[in-house]
């Protein structure tokens, strides 16, 4: 009888630096419960663009049965990293860790074209650097206020531009004057806690009303707010795109800045930034100097809605008579499990009617830099979400992330809607100040 020798194991397609965890891969029992909430599966009905299919692709690569080539990478580039699959998964598969490790592996391989690499570098160099965003403000304000933007949009000439450039133009919010946040804002009344505020990049330079409203609400609720001037970008865009080395540099600088501020809690009003801050312990797990500090830092981080909802309200809520649809940001609802808190803050406001948007688990198409690199899929998801919102006829959509805010604004504008999109904290701020809904409609 002929003897059969065992087939030698093929080498993994991943390198040895934190490859996707075999333990997590093996947790997937292929049940498919995650498929109906996966935005790309909903759009295309393709197994390899579902969470189950992507986990299978990771398994194949880790067993050396699939190569990391452009076709394989394409299935991960289309993933929004929205983590809806994690919420739906009954087996507790930590897809977030898998996609993060997979993306870091992809970025270390020579699989991207020169143009793709250049475009991604441009996005990172711009949107993770508040100083660069600031220098862009004046030309962009001139573009908007001179009437050129209106003229170009009406003429249809923008449609001649590459889709990625069109996406960037359509997402641009109406720019207002900068609102500088003081390094220290005193609590009103008795001080309940000293908190640090992450200023973010896009909200600092493009949506300054978000940070101003956050500081006013926190101060009114008895928090002393420290906004360290030395804080950099938190690195969320980098980490979610697999750019690990850049993410680590910014995480260390962020920790340094907030340690010096000596605060009890670190607050963010951006879901993507918040989920990143809460994962610093994981990101810096190999660093002897920072690992323990990063874990301590992450344990202090909260979304502003989490912080406010855990204490009795102190400031009086005044009526705000409007119909408000709340849109869950994926990095708040799926990555951080924060769903009830923003709703409970809105429900405290007299006169406010809170309505739920169907398909709440499904992403609006924003997803960090996704709408800038995958404009077709992002537009399809934005259009779908805008249609569902329009059926509700709300006065406002409230959400907890600047990226979602810009994506929804753009999608609703394309649908011809007059519904305004604001951050949840802006509505609470308007209520505390006794402002009417018309105040928030201004631009």
Residue 404 contacts ligand SF4 per CB under 6 A: no
> What is the three-class DSSP state of 6?
coil
Please, what is the minimum distance in Å from the beta carbon of residue 33 to ligand SF4? Answer: 4
Helix (H, G, I), strand (E, B) or coil at 112: coil
Q: Pick from 30, 154, 159, 177: which binds ligand SF4 (CB under 6 A)? A: 30
Helix, strand, coil distribution of the chain in percent, nearest 5? 55, 10, 40
Q: Identify the residue among 95, 127, 223, 320 touching ligand SF4 (CB under 6 A).
A: 95
Shortest distance (Å) from residue 82 CB to ligand SF4: 4
How many beta carbons lie within 10 A of that of residue 74, not counting itself?
Answer: 12
| Interaction of residue 102 with ligand SF4, rule CB under 6 A | no
Q: Name the strand (E) or helix (H) holding 290.
A: none
Looking at 58, 83, 233, 378, which residue binds ligand SF4 (CB under 6 A)? Answer: 83
Please report whether residue 85 would count as binding ligand SF4 according to CB under 6 A: yes
In whole angstroms, give the CA distance from residue 128 to residue 273. 11
* Min dist. Cβ of residue 347 to ligand SF4 (A): 28
Mark out the alpha helices in 66-146 (DSSP H runs). 70-77, 84-88, 95-107, 114-127, 130-145
412 backbone dihedrals φ, ψ, rounded to 5° = -70, -40
Q: Applying CB under 6 A, which of residues 89, 199, 210, 266 lies at the interface with ligand SF4?
A: 89
Tell me if 51 contacts ligand SF4 by CB under 6 A: yes
Indicate which single residue of 54, 302, 331, 420 sits in contact with ligand SF4 (rule: CB under 6 A).
54
C-alpha distances in angstroms, 249 versus 157, 244, 351? 41, 9, 46
Token couple for 184: 């220290």
Contact with ligand SF4 (CB under 6 A): which of 39, 200, 242, 382? 39
Distance of closest approach, residue 438 Cβ to ligand SF4, in angstroms: 37
Q: How far is the CB of 45 from ligand SF4 (least distance, A)?
A: 13
Name the minimum Å distance from CB 78 to ligand SF4.
Answer: 7
Look at the alpha carbons of 278, 279, 283, 284 in this order and tell me if their dihedral is positive or negative. Answer: positive
With CB under 6 A as the contact rule, the residue among 20, 40, 218, 240 that binds ligand SF4 is 40
- Of 132-171, which residues contact ligand SF4 (CB under 6 A)? none
With CA atoms as reference, report the closest residue to 242 among 336, 405, 72, 124. 124
Q: Which is nearer to ligand SF4, 27 or 129 (CB)?
A: 27
For the bound state, the minimum distance from the C-beta of residue 41 to ligand SF4, rounded and expressed in Å, comes to 6
Contact between 295 and 286 (Cβ < 8 Å): no
Ranges of H-type helices in 262-393: 271-277, 280-283, 291-299, 304-309, 330-333, 340-347, 370-373, 375-392
Q: Which of 15, 17, 22, 29 binds ligand SF4 (CB under 6 A)?
A: 29
Tell me the CA distances in angstroms from 426 to 54, 432, 440, one per residue in order. Answer: 38, 10, 8
Residue from the set 58, 84, 405, 432 that interacts with ligand SF4 by CB under 6 A: 84
**Which member of 52, 302, 343, 384 binds ligand SF4 (CB under 6 A)?**
52
- Chain centroid, CA 207 distance in Å: 15
| Minimum distance, C-beta of residue 162 to ligand SF4, in the bound complex (Å) | 24
Q: Rule CB under 6 A: is residue 74 a binding residue for ligand SF4?
A: no
Name which of 78 and 170 has its Cβ closer to ligand SF4.
78
Q: Which residues bind to ligand SF4, rule: CB under 6 A?
A: 28-34, 37-40, 51-52, 54-55, 79-85, 88-89, 91, 93, 95
């Amino acid at each position: 009888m002929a003897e059969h020798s065992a087939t030698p194991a093929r080498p993994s397609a991943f390198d040895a630096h934190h490859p996707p965890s075999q333990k997590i891969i093996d947790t997937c029992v292929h049940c498919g419960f995650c498929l109906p909430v996966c935005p790309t599966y909903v759009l295309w009905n393709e197994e390899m663009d579902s969470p189950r299919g992507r986990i299978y692709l990771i398994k194949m690569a880790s067993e050396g049965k699939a190569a990391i080539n452009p076709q394989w990478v394409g299935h991960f580039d289309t993933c929004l990293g929205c983590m809806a699959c994690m919420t739906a998964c009954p087996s507790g598969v930590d897809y977030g860790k898998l996609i993060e490790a997979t993306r870091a592996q992809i970025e270390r391989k020579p699989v991207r074209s020169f143009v793709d690499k250049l475009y991604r570098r441009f996005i990172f160099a711009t949107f993770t650097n508040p100083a660069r965003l600031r220098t862009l403000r004046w030309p962009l304000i001139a573009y908007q206020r001179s009437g050129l933007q209106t003229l170009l949009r009406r003429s249809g000439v923008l449609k001649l531009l590459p889709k990625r450039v069109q996406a960037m133009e359509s997402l641009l919010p109406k720019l207002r004057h900068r609102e500088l946040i003081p390094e220290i804002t005193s609590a009103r009344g008795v001080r309940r806690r000293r908190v640090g505020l992450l200023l973010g990049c896009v909200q600092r330079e493009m949506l300054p009303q978000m940070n101003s409203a956050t500081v006013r609400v926190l101060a009114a609720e008895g928090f002393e707010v420290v906004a360290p001037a030395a804080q950099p970008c938190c690195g969320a865009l980098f980490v979610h795109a697999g750019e690990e080395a850049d993410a680590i540099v910014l995480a260390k600088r962020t920790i340094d800045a907030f340690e010096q501020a000596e605060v009890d809690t670190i607050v963010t009003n951006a879901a993507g930034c918040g989920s990143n801050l809460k994962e610093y312990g994981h990101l810096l797990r190999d660093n002897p100097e920072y690992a323990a500090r990063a874990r301590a830092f992450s344990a202090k981080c909260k979304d502003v809605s989490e912080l406010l909802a855990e204490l009795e309200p102190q400031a009086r809520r005044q009526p705000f008579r409007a119909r408000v649809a709340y849109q869950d940001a994926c990095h708040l609802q799926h990555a951080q499990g924060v769903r009830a808190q923003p709703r409970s803050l809105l429900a405290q406001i007299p006169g406010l009617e809170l309505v739920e948007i169907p398909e709440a688990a499904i992403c609006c198409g924003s997803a960090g830099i996704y709408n800038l690199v995958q404009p077709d899929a992002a537009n399809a998801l934005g259009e779908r979400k805008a249609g569902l919102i329009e059926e509700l006829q709300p006065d406002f959509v409230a959400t907890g992330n600047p990226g979602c805010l810009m994506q929804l604004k753009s999608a609703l504008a394309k649908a011809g809607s007059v519904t305004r999109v604001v951050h949840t904290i802006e509505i609470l701020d308007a209520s505390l100040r006794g402002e009417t809904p018309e105040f928030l409609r201004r631009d």
